[in-house]
Chain A
Amino acid sequence: MLNKIWAGLILTGILFALGQDINDELQNTFQNGVIHPVAFTPVNEQRHSSPLNLLAENVQVTLLIDEYKLIAAIKNHQHLHIKLDQQSPQYLQDIGALHGDKNIIIASIVSKDDRQLNILLPELHWRKLRAVTQAAFDMAEFAVKLAIGLVGIMALWLGLMQIAEKSGMVNCLVKWVRPVLRWLFPNIPNNHPALGSISLNMTANILGLGNAATPLGIKAMQQLQELNPHKNTASDEMCMFLALNTSSVQLLPPVTLIALMGTQVSELMIPIILATSCSTIVAVSVAKLYARTNKQNSEPGK
């Protein structure tokens, strides 16, 4: 299933980008190779009476492309630096963005006469495919940053957890939640440390402590792996545990939501708890159902 989702994301992404780009090429959305005649007026009319004179200098002009009024500056006799803003035509913004800055286009001046310039916009091909490639590289880099960024917070929580485990604090917690854990994870032996990690992870989730839940969850996964007969395949316990985590049982809202919504969050608490309970119930039932079906077929999951 994961194989299919993964391949599906990549293939639809690239094919969709390719389709849009071919469409752009056929329609020539970005006006590649089209010479635009633009009428212009100097911003400061009095100082530059002659248009030819004007081109020799570094001056501001206003011009019209496709009915849109734009401000531009002439540089070195042959380039026109056109300023863009939010209201400029989308294709101009796209051209600017792909050439480094979405607020500026550097067009070349092909020819000029009285009060009219003929300009050529920079070419733009395969916009979407380029964006997709860029995004892929950026994300690959970001993934490493994300993983390395976890180290500190993970070390902190794993360290604290070690203390809680050795002092017997975790066992107290496990005693409280044992009946629930027994039912959710019937195959974990009674005094296995995985039960402790799982209950800590659940507690962190319930309290909305996302950054504590992850290291504790990883610890639980490692301990579940010790019980796993097929080391590269997820066991029933792991699937159940993951389902519980992705459906995010919680009583306090996640910190990000508080940051975004402020005090508004408090009136959303009851709906959030109800909705998250629904998703958790569904997650548990689905995991239980799959586990039962797998056992009946008596073959490991694929």
Chain B
Amino acid sequence: MQQLSSLIIPLLVLGIISYGVFKRIAVYEEFIDGAKSAFSIAVNIIPYLVAMLFAIAIFRASGALTLLLNLLTPVANFLSFPAEVIPMGIIRPLTGSGSVGVLAELINTHGEDSIIVKITAVMFGSTETTLYVLAVYFGAIKINKTAYAVQAGLIADFAGFVAAILVTYWYFS
């Protein structure tokens, strides 16, 4: 699996360049032409990213998350799944580095073979940092009215969260 992942990029680059050369494209010039816009895109994204990340930072630093977890623990107990997996469900749409931290911590305390870590890893693997993606994608084209994109993204995240729990239990039992 690891080998496969590390092979893909070099093969992709090889494929693209050799096909370009084969088709007699001015590869160097086209590369520069395409790459030119990268800086302006990144600069466009900045205000959107600042807005999003600072709001998330305030929420996380305040410890409000702990309160939310305490409120949700009875729900987890009632539905008989481990409450330890909830933080990933909440943090995953908000921050990428935060969710990596959550997973690393769970691996540390519960070990890689525990069902808690397995569920959390599946959650991590099957969903994305919705609010970050939203800020970056819409920031790049300066869209601030996001229509129903947030709803669709968050509902999908929730579906991923539930599916991760069910699928992992089913697969490992």
User: A residues engaging B (CB < 8 A)?
Assistant: 1-2, 5-6, 9-10, 12-14, 16-17, 20, 128, 131-132, 134-136, 138-140, 142-144, 146-148, 150-152, 154-156, 158-169, 207-209, 212, 214-215, 217-218, 221-222, 224-225, 230-236, 238-243, 245-248, 250, 252-258, 260-266, 268-272, 274-276, 278-283, 286-287, 290, 294, 300-302
Contacts and interface: CB of A to CB of B under 8 A. Distances in A.
A218 B20 contact: no
Interface string B119-140: 0011111111111011011101
Given A163-B30, A271-B171, A243 B149 contact: yes
Contact of B138 (A140, A152, A234, A255): A234
B125 A276 contact: yes
Sort A-B residue pairs by CB-CB distance and give the 10 closest, nearest first.
A162-B34, A279-B160, A301-B147, A283-B156, A135-B61, A278-B163, A139-B57, A282-B159, A13-B58, A159-B35
Contacts of A266: 1
Contact of A260 (B56, B103, B138): B103
A271 B54 contact: no
22 contacts: A17-B62, A142-B53, A144-B46, A146-B53, A148-B42, A154-B41, A155-B39, A159-B32, A163-B16, A164-B16, A166-B23, A208-B5, A214-B133, A217-B137, A221-B141, A231-B143, A232-B144, A239-B148, A247-B128, A260-B104, A261-B121, A278-B163
Contacts of B147: 233-236, 238-239, 290, 294, 300-302
Contact of A138 (B49, B52, B57): B57
A199 B41 CA distance: 20
A167 B41 CA distance: 24
Contacts of B172: 271
Please indicate which of the listed interface residues A150, A155, A275 has the most CB atoms of chain B within 10 Å of its own CB.
A275
B151 interface: yes
A13 B53 CA distance: 13
B72 interface: no
Contacts of B140: 218, 221-222
Contacts, number: 354
B2 interface: yes
B10 to A, nearest CB: 12
Interface in B1-31: 1-2, 4-5, 8-9, 12-13, 15-17, 19-20, 22-23, 25, 27, 30-31
Contacts of B112: 261-262, 264
A contact face: mostly helix, strand, loop, or mixed: helix
A145 to B, nearest CB: 10
Please indicate which of the listed interface residues A140, A208, A232, A243 has the most CB atoms of chain B within 10 Å of its own CB.
A243
Contact of B159 (A165, A274, A279, A302): A279
A238 B1 contact: no
A35 to B, nearest CB: 30
Contacts of A250: 125-126
B152 A239 contact: yes
Contacts of A143: 46, 49-50, 52-54
A301 B145 contact: yes
Contacts of A148: 42
Contact of B16 (A6, A131, A169, A242): A169
Nearest to B60: A135
A4 B121 CA distance: 29
A280 B155 CA distance: 10
A278 to B, nearest CB: 4
